[in-house]
Every structure is written in structure tokens, then in C-alpha cells.
Amino acid sequence: MINVHYIYHSCFAVETDDALLVYDYWKDSRNMRLHALIDTLSDKQLYFIVSHFHEDHFNPEITEFAGARLLVSYDTSKRRRIKPPVATAVLRPADFYEDELLHLNALRSTDVGIASLVTLPDGTTIYHAGDNNNWYFPENDEEHIRCSLDEMEGMFLSNLREVRAINKSVNYAMFPVDPRLGSEMLRGACQWLQQVRTGHFYPMHCWGRWNEVAEGIEQLKELFPETEFHYTTPEASDEEPIFLE
């Protein structure tokens, strides 16, 4: 049994038979959905998986949960000062972590930190991109451009080949669909879905702008009918849209 709970921004709580995997916790939802899930864990193991140190992917509160296993990227360990033994594992791209409940491959990102591919004992695969995306910002957006558009595209496609070398398909993928990219918002998601067969796709890093994201997801549904898409509708969202310049 897998239940994927969207929490906020890029945070998801993935519930398995034996564990609760919390990815990139920044803020809880208004109705405290994450804390409610943790309160009902019973004998399940709690994990916090942190892809990178950026403020919108990290909350220091994760260190306060007794018994939680913290799997953090190398930059999070350095910048946020979470080191062993508080951190269960500190991960760089190409590292892996394994215990009795999961195997995690740390993969490259086009930004800082890592993406992660978790494989459960029954073979179920869960990919969380962190900030791995084709950040193909409009050419006049000098603030966000760190390299040429061709270089960004090359890095991203190389990262997808790295995923495919491990698994050509995943059961669950959480991936950025960022409205700040304007007309290129779906570029990375389309390339991901073209390269990696995906059972269930969850957009993230959307800044609460679900009207724009919902329109984009409808386009993806037509292009990739074999994938199930899950997202918060504008009517159901309890997030305030954030417009970052």
C-alpha cells in the first residue's frame, strides 16, 4: 500500500506499509496535514529526506522528531549544520543509503543538492526531483540564468540518462512544474515523461499557483495518457499564490 500526501510546495509524505517518507519539508499545510500523519504513525518508521539546503525545501524542525531517520544532502549538512549522528546519512550524487525498509540512490541535480530514487523491498520506486529540472528560464531573466540554455538542457538530459541507467520506469514521481518558467513551465516535465515511464506524476514547486499548473497538467494528460496525474485543484488548494520576481 502506497499513499502519497501532498503537503506544501515540494513537500510530500509518502506512506508505505512500514514507513512514512517525508520529502523536503518546509511548511505544513494550513490544516497541519503532515503533523496529523506523524501523530498517527504507530509503529511505522519516520524518515525525513532533504534534497538541498534552500529555505523552501528545509525546516530545522525535522531534528526534533524522536526516532526519525534523517537522510540529508551534503549541502544541507554543511549549510544547516546537520551532521551525524543527528543525520542518519549525508548524501552526495552517486551515494546510496540502505536499511531494512528502503534503498535510496542519491542522484544529480541541475541545481544544488540531490534528487533521490527510493526503491522499496517490493520493488516500488519513488522519485523526488528536489530542484532537478530543466530550468529553461526566459532569456531575458538574467537573475535566474546561471548558464546558457543549451548547457542547462544538456545537464538535465544527462541527469535523466542517469535515472534511466537505474530504472527506465518509476511508479511515483514528484517533479517541479514551476510557473516562473512561463511558456517553458512544462519543458522539464515533458522531457522526464518522454524518457522515464511514470505511473503516477505529482507536480511540485508550484508556489501555490494552481490555476496555471492545472492548465499545464491538462496538456500533459493528453500527451501522456499512460500516466496518472495528481495535483491540487485551484478550488481545493489552501495555499496562497506566491509570485516571485
Query: For position 141, what pLDDT does the model report?
Result: 56
d(CA 225, CA 193): 11
Confidence of residue 67 (pLDDT cuts 50, 70, 90): very high
pLDDT above 80 (res 236): no
pLDDT above 60 (res 167): yes
Cβ–Cβ contacts within 10 Å for residue 116, how many?
Answer: 28
Instruction: Please give the residue that has the higher pLDDT: either 244 or 93.
Output: 93
Residue 9 one-letter amino acid? H
Q: Are 37 and 12 in contact (CB under 8 A)?
A: no
Percent of the chain with pLDDT over 70: 95
Strand spans (E) along 25-102: 45-50, 69-73, 89-91, 96-98
Burial (CB count within 10 angstroms: exposed 0-12, middle 13-18, buried 19+), residue 41: middle
pLDDT above 60 (res 208): yes
Output the CA–CA distances (angstroms, integers) from residue 70 to 94, 95, 111, 129, in the order listed.
Answer: 18, 15, 21, 17
pLDDT above 90 (res 80): yes
DSSP state, 167? -
**Intra-chain end-to-end CA distance of the chain, in Å:** 41
| Residue 236 grid coordinates | 481545493
d(CA 149, CA 32): 39
Query: For position 147, what pLDDT does the model report?
Result: 79
* pLDDT, mean of residues 213-228: 96
pLDDT above 60 (res 142): no
Confidence of residue 242 (pLDDT cuts 50, 70, 90): confident
DSSP state, 87? S
Domains of the chain, each with CATH number or no CATH? 3-229 (3.60.15.10)
Query: For position 149, what pLDDT does the model report?
Result: 84
